[in-house]
């Protein structure tokens, strides 16, 4: 189950923090994403897309709240992540000089905010160095008459995402032998667009950006912000994801929370 609804003050503070942290530039050097990094982004993006479908189905107000999110991706890009009570698996199908193809799927039945998600068939493609990612996925969700892997009352959704990843350069001062040095750390940003469709008809569109600070043997972080694109008089919704990341055995582990909140809550650009 999702956590309690965020207060206006907390939501505003989280959005302000995210707005400062996520860069608003358009391009940069190739990010050289590793297989576990690609697997992590595939898994996280897939769960966010499923939540976006839930927002379309039951509305932003009904979906508003905080959801637990965690994942574990191995050195070969395979692994899984879980949002609420729904686990998504990711598998690297192909990795060569042309790029990487990863597949997302689910087993059995699992819920996000008491809604069942199943029959996931997702595909994520990255360029060799990860400058661009394209993805599509099909899945079912069920609010009524649910049970089993093909229940009555199931609704068919799909999502399409395109994202640009680029390398940002950040310096953090350290003091060594009373002399200040400025070691270089890798920082990865992305900007992208997503469309959610139902039975092949367009339903919602989102813009998103993110910042990823790799663990590098310590504790890293992942921050993602998704904002619905709609006319000014139409309901809009935010998704904000923040997690800590750790590298273990050549892979990546991450754990955090995903917040959903309506446009009416404070937003500081």
| 254 — pLDDT class (breaks 50, 70, 90) | very high
In angstroms, the first-to-last Cα distance of the chain is 30
Q: What are the residue ranges spanned by the domains of the chain?
A: 8-262
Copy the structure tokens of residue 17. Answer: 């923090």
Q: What is the mean pLDDT of residues 3-30?
A: 50
- From residue 233, alpha-carbon distances to 115, 147, 229, 230, 264 in Å are 28, 38, 11, 8, 12
- Global pTM reads 0.85
pLDDT tens string 190-213: 999 999 999 889 999 999 999 999
- From residue 59, alpha-carbon distances to 25, 155, 202, 212, 261 in Å are 31, 15, 16, 29, 11
Q: Which of 63-67, 71-75, 94-98, 264-268 has the lowest mean pLDDT?
A: 264-268
Q: Given this model, what pLDDT does residue 110 score? A: 84
Instruction: Name the percent of the chain lying above pLDDT 90.
Output: 61
Give yes or no for a contact between 139 and 157, defined as CB atoms under 8 angstroms apart. Answer: yes
Kindly tell me if the per-residue pLDDT of 182 is higher than 80.
no
Give yes or no for a contact between 51 and 60, defined as CB atoms under 8 angstroms apart. Answer: no
């Amino acid at each position: 189950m999702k956590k309690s609804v965020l207060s206006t003050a907390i939501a505003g503070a989280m959005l302000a923090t995210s707005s400062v942290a996520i860069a608003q530039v358009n391009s940069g050097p190739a990010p050289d994403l590793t297989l576990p990094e690609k697997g992590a982004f595939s898994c996280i993006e897939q769960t966010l897309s499923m939540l976006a479908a839930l927002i379309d189905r039951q509305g932003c107000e009904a979906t508003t709240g905080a959801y637990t999110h965690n994942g574990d991706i191995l050195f070969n890009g395979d692994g899984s992540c879980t949002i609420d009570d729904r686990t998504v698996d990711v598998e690297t199908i192909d990795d060569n000089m042309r790029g990487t193809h990863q597949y997302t799927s689910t087993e059995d039945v699992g819920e996000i905010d008491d809604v069942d998600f199943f029959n996931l068939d997702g595909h994520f493609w990255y360029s060799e160095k990860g400058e661009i990612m394209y993805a599509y996925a099909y899945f079912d969700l069920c609010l009524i008459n649910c049970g089993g892997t093909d229940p009555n009352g199931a609704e068919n959704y799909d999502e399409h995402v395109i994202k640009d990843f680029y390398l940002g350069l950040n310096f953090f001062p350290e003091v060594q032998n009373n002399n200040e040095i400025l070691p270089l750390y890798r920082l990865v940003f992305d900007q992208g667009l997503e469309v959610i469709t139902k039975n092949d008809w367009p339903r919602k569109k989102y813009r998103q950006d993110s910042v990823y600070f790799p663990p590098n043997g310590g504790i890293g972080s992942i921050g993602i912000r998704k904002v619905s694109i709609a006319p000014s008089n139409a309901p809009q919704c935010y998704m904000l994801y923040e997690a800590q990341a750790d590298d273990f055995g050549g892979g990546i582990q991450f754990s955090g929370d995903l917040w959903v909140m309506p446009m009416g809550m404070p937003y500081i650009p």
